[in-house]
Amino acid sequence: MDYIVNDSVIEEFRDGIFALRTRRFGTVAEIMIKRLYDLDESGSLAFDKRDRSSDDRIEVKFSTVMKENDDKIRDDNVIEQCQKANLANRAMRSSDTGRYSFDCNIQQVKRREFDVLYYGLFFADQIEIFRMDSDEVLTCPGYSDKQHRGNEGEGQFHLNESNIEYHRSHFRQRVLTYAELFRLLNQK
């Protein structure tokens, strides 16, 4: 289907991505990475995609970036906090990472199950895509190889205002606008 792509269509598309829940959001990120890097389906539940040329096992982990809430929900502010929780108030622009606190958790990282990790952040204005090899995960700032008690080999790390520049300078592969992502996903 051909779309007349204008700002309102792209904004609706972006807002829809931010509204998706975990599994559906993850599927959008997986399709994006598959198309950007010409990957195959994995044929396995252990990892997400497979590189056609190298046969590397690919894992894909993304998060939306939201400003941290400025207050806890209490009896006296519950209505106000719900009203302030909308996308327009909380979605963070990529240029605001030094201005606002945020915390994006890249979790369920099972290093033994993949060769390459594509991870990234959906900001309000763009998508930043990062790449690291499985052995680089161990040296990632804040990486913990223990996510939950008893889950050996499953770790996590956070991207936040204190380490985003490290990830940008060491692992960032590319940046996409939402218009570019729309065109990529609209290709047949």
pLDDT tens track, the chain, 188 positions: 445 568 999 999 999 999 998 899 999 999 999 999 999 999 888 898 999 999 999 999 999 999 887 788 999 999 988 888 777 778 899 999 999 999 999 999 999 999 999 999 999 999 999 999 999 998 898 888 875 566 667 889 999 999 999 999 999 999 999 999 999 999 87
Is 85 within the bounds of a domain? Answer: yes
Is 1 within the bounds of a domain? Answer: no
Is 2 within the bounds of a domain? Answer: no
pLDDT for the residue numbered 1: 42
pLDDT for the residue numbered 153: 72
**Gap between the Cα atoms of 158 and 96, Å rounded:** 17
Domain containing 141: what range? 7-186
Is 56 within the bounds of a domain? Answer: yes
The Cα diameter of the chain in Å comes to: 58
**Gap between the Cα atoms of 8 and 93, Å rounded:** 18
Task: Count how many domains the chain has.
Answer: 1
Is 111 within the bounds of a domain? Answer: yes
